[in-house]
Amino acid sequence: MDHFPIRLTSDGWVRWNSLVVTRSLCKISAFYFPYDTQVCHFKYGSWAHHGGQINMINTSSTGDISECMNRGEWALVGIPVRRHVRKYACCDEPYVDVTFYITLTRRGGYYIMHLIIPVCGMVMLSTASFYLPAESGDKTSVVIVVYLSQLVSYLVLGIVLPKQSDIVTLVGQYMLVMQLLMATAIILNILVIHVHFQRMHAWKVPFRMRDFFFYRIGPWIKMSNNIAKCKTNQARSSMFRKRFLAGLETVFATAGLAQGSVTSMGDTSNTQLLTDEYSRAQKNVLEQAKVMADEMSRKAYWRDVRAEWTLLAMILDRVFLIIYGVLVTTIVTGIIIRLNFPADIDEVIE
């Protein structure tokens, strides 16, 4: 008081230019992190004297920020000043206060460069895992490595964010959903690999599953050429076996007629003996040919089984890729839309 006296004038003005450093704590809301705008309130008024005794006014609508120093993380937008006249339940007289709204905006470039963009790159890598063939052993390994990398980023985000339990930031929601999507991608890739290696068993794709994925989903995702190729190979294998046996029987029938015509011109006493020996030889050769045809048919069956399960795994991979890509795009777009926080200071104050 001795160094900074109060100035009184005859018209009732009271001025006290005191060099006071005011420190205060203000509640922040990091929901829009790293694009959040924080407003700290400094309220000056008297509880002991009502408005009829002390009338406080603001000489300027904004505070002076010309001498303020800008920091790298925060930008001082402005200090709006508002005068309020309030009535309380205890008293009939109004009470006057002047409130300073210190408005700060976070500079989000650092977090975008070191947090948001890397996470987007990780999500793109997890999406690319559906392009890897099921035969490769790195199909699930890629997603697991990306999942662990994003988990580290999520832990870093928990360190830089304010410790608040009442809200969850948009970036936190985004990374949490991305974690769940990556976990889902791991499960889907494991499912695709499981379907692919069903070809090691002796059963084909069930009829209903084949009808749904091959003839309903397949054309919709541009897999008609692969399905047609698989059907053509199966038809060729079945037709080859039938033609092979039919041609062999035709050859033997023709040879039998020729042999009968030759023996009919010779000694009749040996005709029956030659005919029986020829019939036995023909029967043995035909049985061996049927064994060969059955072996070829068995190999063709296994080839068809492998082709069907491989094709089903490819269709599932394509379907999961489309669904996963749509989900990621929708979530990222929704978060970008929700980041349209109010830029007007008056709206932030209200």
Q: Are 172 and 156 in contact (CB under 8 A)?
A: no
Query: What gap in Å lies between CA 331 and CA 87, rounded to an integer?
Result: 47
pLDDT, one tens digit per residue, over 3-20 is 667 788 888 777 777 777
Helix (H) or strand (E) holding 14: strand 14-15
- What 3-state DSSP class applies to 25? coil
pLDDT at 263 (0 to 100): 46
pLDDT at 246 (0 to 100): 64
**Mean pLDDT per 10-residue segment, the chain (350 residues):** 72 76 80 83 84 82 79 83 87 88 84 80 81 77 83 80 74 82 86 79 72 75 58 56 61 51 47 56 68 68 74 84 86 74 54
Domain boundaries, the chain: 23-107, 108-350
Sequence letter at residue 216 = R
pLDDT at 332 (0 to 100): 78
Dihedrals φ, ψ of 37, to 5°?
-120, 125
Query: What gap in Å lies between CA 114 and CA 259, rounded to an integer?
Result: 89
Q: How many residues belong to the chain?
A: 350
pLDDT at 316 (0 to 100): 86
- Which CATH architecture does the domain made up of 23-107 adopt? Distorted Sandwich (2.70)
Query: What gap in Å lies between CA 218 and CA 100, rounded to an integer?
Result: 64
Dihedrals φ, ψ of 2, to 5°?
-70, -40
pLDDT at 19 (0 to 100): 75
